Structure formats: structure tokens, C-alpha cells
């Protein structure tokens, strides 16, 4: 009788995927240029002419509300001699380049340019700012540099509907608090840390004992698309670190929807919405923003208390973890270790990391990050 050899354990990614500048550059021009990224919130561009600028995959972009009410996103570059058009946020009647005063309509078409009428054959109707694919998702503005990319509902099936169920007031929400965190690590280290709770009980005592019930924690991928769903029950009411209103459906649950590659909607117990979005700057640094939202942006003691608690505990704890991991990945003594894959999934399993790392590997080695298919 032949003994069956047990399968070899799945190993984590090699360090080069996190530390090699050439791999980061391949991600910047490939993966990050073909996926959906958070740009801002609709409340930032409430009226015609309101705009804000932001960066995605090394590109400067700006979003503007037109007179027709439409939201449009453009590359932040003049079509004359490439000067950037806007910075920060504001309100304008037209978009004027600071270099030579070429002027564009809010639809992107060129309106005028000094002395251009003297140029033989000049046809301003053929000149327009370069647009960027834009979608609204419950008031959240997302962009994709790939004009042929599948829509967000194909990338993240079911999330729009589920989010509406877990946050019944979502279409009234506006930002109340933003917490900006600089992390000295590769963006994938930070995303991986977010996408498992194997480390939670040991490293996040406030979150594990005062918000969630760790023994109920699980993370599951979507059958199609690129979503990881975190689910858990909340702690007992006596143990909760803040007061929650249990009158709404799902109020006693925590739910998170991670949208590959750099965004997550988190619903805290009490139907409180928190978001994460990442920006990768180079191979060894990124910034994470944590947004906290309330109806119409009105002041909320619960939301502010949660934001302060989160920044002082989970955020601070995670900074030390991810930066230590990144230093370790640069050690010549590191060898990729086995992932802990519990068939029952649950809190102490890294099955979500295995899925993430497959997406990471495919994006670099196979170049198929822009394809949405069943996993």
C-alpha cells in the first residue's frame, strides 16, 4: 500500500514582490492603471464648477462638476505645453492654464487660447482635455485609467446592494473626519495586514475586546470579481467601547468590503461607515486615509469618538506592524514561510492572504490584473 504524501504548504510571496523597484514600476503602469481607485466624495463637488485634484498611479487628475450636473475627471495637464492645470480644490467658471492662459470648458473642450486665431489651420474643436473613466458608488467617486475596464458592479458584484443594506443611510453620508497615515512599507504589506485578522487578538486588544467578537470573525472572497468580505458579530453591549443604536438591521454586526486593490468600506457596529484608501508612492512608502462619515456630515459624538479611538489604537498598532514587516522583507535572512490555511477559515487563518497574494502574483507575472473573472 502506497502512502500518500501530504501536499506541501502554500508559501507566502517572495520578498522581491515587495522590495523590487522594477516590480513596483510594473504595478504602477499595469495593475494600478487598470483598476478602480477612490477619488473623493460627491459632497466635494456639489455645485457646478467645484473641483478637486488627486493622484492615482503616479498621474495627477482632477474631478469637476459641469454645468449639466455631470461629474467628469480629466488628466491634470494642459494640451498646449503640458503645464498642470489645477491644484487642491476650489470653484471655477472655466479651467485656465496658469502657463499661457489656454482656457477649457468644464466639459474639457478648449474654449480659447491667446493669439491662437493667428495660427494657420488651428482648430480648437479638435483639442480637448483627456478624460478618465469615472463612476459614482453610493456618492463615492471612483476612477479607472483604463477606458475599457469593466464597470465596478462587475469587479465587485453585489457590494453596492449589500452596502445599502448594512448602511441604510449611506446616500446621505458625507465625510466628518479624515485620518491620514504615512507608512514606510510597500503598499501590499499594508493591504495584506488589513486583510487578515490572524494578528488581531494579539495586536489589537481594543478592537478585539471592545468592538468585535473575534471567535465569530471570518473573511471570504467573492465567487466572482475581486472582493474580500470580512464578517463578525459585535461584542456584548457591556463590553462595547461606544454606544450603538440597535434599531437598524445589521446594527450588531461588523462588515468590511475590501475592493482590490486599494479600497475598503468598513461598517462598524451601529451601522457606522468608515473607509480606507491607499496610495502607493514608491516601492517602500504609501499613505492610508481612514474616512469617517455621518449623515450630511453633521457632528456625531459616536463617530468622532470612534475615529479618535481607532487612531490611538488600531492605526498606531498597525503602523509598527507593517513597517517592521517591510524591514524584515529586506533581510537576507528571510525565506517565504508557510501560510496558515485552516479549512474551516475563521479568525486564525490566512486564506484571504493566499487569495490576495495570487492576485498580486498574477498582476506582475501574468499581466492580467485588468481581467475580471471567476476565481
**Residues 350-370 pLDDT 10s:** 999 999 999 999 999 876 555
The pLDDT of residue 365 is 86
For residue 312, count other CB atoms closer than 10 A to its CB. 11
Has residue 2 got a pLDDT over 90? no
Question: CA–CA distance from 90 to each of 53, 64, 95, 176, 277 (Å)?
Answer: 9, 10, 11, 19, 22
209 & 103 share domain: no
The pLDDT of residue 366 is 74
Residue 349 lies in a domain: yes
Among 30, 33, 36, 114, CA closest to 78: 114
pLDDT in tens, 246-260: 999 999 999 999 999
Q: What is the mean pLDDT of residues 287-314?
A: 96
Q: Alpha-carbon distance 59 to 54, whole Å?
A: 8
Three cell numbers written together for 315: 492605526
Burial class from Cβ neighbours inside 10 Å (0-12, 13-18, 19+) for residue 362 reads middle
Cβ 224 vs Cβ 375: under 8 Å = yes
Among 137, 138, 143, 124, CA closest to 52: 143
Has residue 132 got a pLDDT over 80? yes
Out of 80-89, 151-160, 178-187, 241-250, which region has the weakest mean confidence (pLDDT)?
241-250
The pLDDT of residue 370 is 52
206 & 328 share domain: yes
pLDDT band for position 60 (50/70/90)? very high
116 & 175 share domain: no
Phi, psi (deg, nearest 5) at residue 313 = -115, -85
pLDDT band for position 375 (50/70/90)? very low
Q: What is the mean pLDDT of residues 65-78?
A: 98
Type and span of the H or E element at 144: strand 140-144
196 & 257 share domain: yes
Question: CA–CA distance from 46 to each of 41, 98, 184 (Å)?
Answer: 9, 25, 35
Q: What is the mean pLDDT of residues 34-45?
A: 98
Residue 17 lies in a domain: no
For residue 209, count other CB atoms closer than 10 A to its CB. 15
Q: What is the mean pLDDT of residues 56-69?
A: 97
Three cell numbers written together for 352: 484571504
121 & 174 share domain: no
Residue 31 lies in a domain: no
Residue 104 lies in a domain: yes
For β-strands 218-221 and 110-112, DSSP reports them as unpaired
Among 309, 302, 281, 299, CA closest to 290: 309
Residue 22 lies in a domain: no
pLDDT band for position 372 (50/70/90)? low
pLDDT in tens, 146-164: 999 999 999 999 999 999 9
Among 325, 352, 372, CA closest to 17: 325
Has residue 137 got a pLDDT over 60? yes
Has residue 127 got a pLDDT over 50? yes
Which carries the bigger pLDDT value, residue 347 or residue 22? 22
Q: What is the number of domains present in the chain?
A: 2
How close are the terminal C-alpha atoms of the chain, in Å?
A: 36
Cβ 130 vs Cβ 27: under 8 Å = no
pLDDT in tens, 166-175: 999 999 999 9
Average model confidence (pLDDT) for the chain?
94
Q: What is the mean pLDDT of residues 208-217?
A: 93
Residue 375 lies in a domain: no
163 & 88 share domain: no
For residue 147, count other CB atoms closer than 10 A to its CB. 9
The pLDDT of residue 223 is 87
Kindly report the CATH number assigned to the domain that includes residue 47. 2.102.10.10
Residue 237 lies in a domain: yes
Three cell numbers written together for 12: 507566502
Residue 269 lies in a domain: yes
Q: What is the mean pLDDT of residues 10-37?
A: 97
pLDDT band for position 87 (50/70/90)? very high
Containing domain of residue 303, as a range? 153-366
262 & 355 share domain: yes
Cβ 71 vs Cβ 45: under 8 Å = yes
Cβ 200 vs Cβ 217: under 8 Å = yes
pLDDT band for position 373 (50/70/90)? low
343 & 272 share domain: yes
Has residue 5 got a pLDDT over 70? no
131 & 157 share domain: no
Radius of gyration of the chain (CA): 23
Kindly report the CATH number assigned to the domain that includes residue 235. 3.90.380.10
43 & 99 share domain: yes
Q: Alpha-carbon distance 133 to 73, whole Å?
A: 7
Among the candidates 107, 135, 163, a domain finishes at: 135
The pLDDT of residue 289 is 97
113 & 188 share domain: no
101 & 203 share domain: no
The pLDDT of residue 258 is 98
Amino acid at each position: 500500500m502506497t502512502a500518500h504524501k501530504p501536499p506541501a504548504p502554500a508559501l507566502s510571496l517572495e520578498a522581491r514582490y515587495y522590495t523590487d523597484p522594477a516590480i513596483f514600476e510594473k504595478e504602477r503602469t499595469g495593475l494600478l492603471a487598470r483598476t478602480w481607485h477612490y477619488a473623493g466624495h460627491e459632497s466635494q463637488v456639489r455645485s457646478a464648477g467645484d473641483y478637486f485634484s488627486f493622484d492615482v498611479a503616479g498621474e495627477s487628475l482632477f474631478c469637476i462638476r459641469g454645468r449639466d450636473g455631470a461629474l467628469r475627471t480629466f488628466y491634470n495637464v494642459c494640451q498646449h505645453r503640458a503645464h498642470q492645470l489645477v491644484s487642491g480644490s476650489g470653484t471655477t467658471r472655466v479651467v485656465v492654464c496658469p502657463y499661457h492662459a489656454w482656457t477649457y470648458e468644464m466639459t474639457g473642450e478648449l474654449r480659447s487660447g491667446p493669439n491662437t486665431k493667428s495660427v494657420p489651420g488651428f482648430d480648437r474643436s479638435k483639442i480637448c482635455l483627456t478624460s478618465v473613466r469615472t463612476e459614482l458608488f453610493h456618492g463615492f467617486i471612483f476612477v479607472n485609467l483604463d477606458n475599457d475596464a469593466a464597470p465596478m458592479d462587475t469587479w465587485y458584484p453585489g457590494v453596492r446592494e449589500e452596502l445599502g443594506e448594512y448602511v441604510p443611510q449611506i446616500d446621505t453620508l458625507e465625510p466628518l473626519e479624515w485620518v491620514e497615515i504615512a507608512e514606510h512599507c510597500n503598499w501590499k504589506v499594508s493591504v495584506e495586514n488589513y486583510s487578515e485578522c490572524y494578528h488581531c487578538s494579539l495586536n489589537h486588544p481594543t478592537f478585539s475586546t471592545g468592538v468585535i467578537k473575534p471567535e465569530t470573525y471570518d473573511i471570504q472572497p467573492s465567487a466572482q470579481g475581486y472582493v474580500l468580505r470580512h464578517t463578525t458579530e459585535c461584542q456584548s453591549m457591556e463590553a462595547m467601547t461606544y454606544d450603538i443604536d440597535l434599531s437598524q438591521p445589521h446594527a450588531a454586526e461588523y462588515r468590511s468590503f475590501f475592493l482590490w486593490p486599494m479600497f475598503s468600506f468598513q461598517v462598524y457596529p451601529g451601522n457606522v461607515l468608515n473607509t480606507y484608501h491607499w496610495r502607493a508612492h514608491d516601492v517602500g512608502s504609501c499613505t492610508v486615509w481612514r474616512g469617517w462619515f455621518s449623515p450630511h456630515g453633521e457632528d456625531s459624538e459616536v463617530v468622532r469618538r470612534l475615529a479618535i479611538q481607532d487612531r490611538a489604537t488600531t492605526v498606531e498598532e498597525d503602523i509598527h506592524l507593517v513597517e517592521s514587516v517591510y524591514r524584515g522583507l529586506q533581510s537576507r535572512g528571510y525565506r517565504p514561510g508557510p501560510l496558515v490555511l485552516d479549512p474551516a477559515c475563521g479568525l486564525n487563518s490566512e486564506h484571504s492572504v493566499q487569495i490576495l497574494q495570487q492576485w498580486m502574483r498574477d498582476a506582475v507575472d501574468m499581466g492580467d490584473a485588468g481581467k475580471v473573472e471567476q476565481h
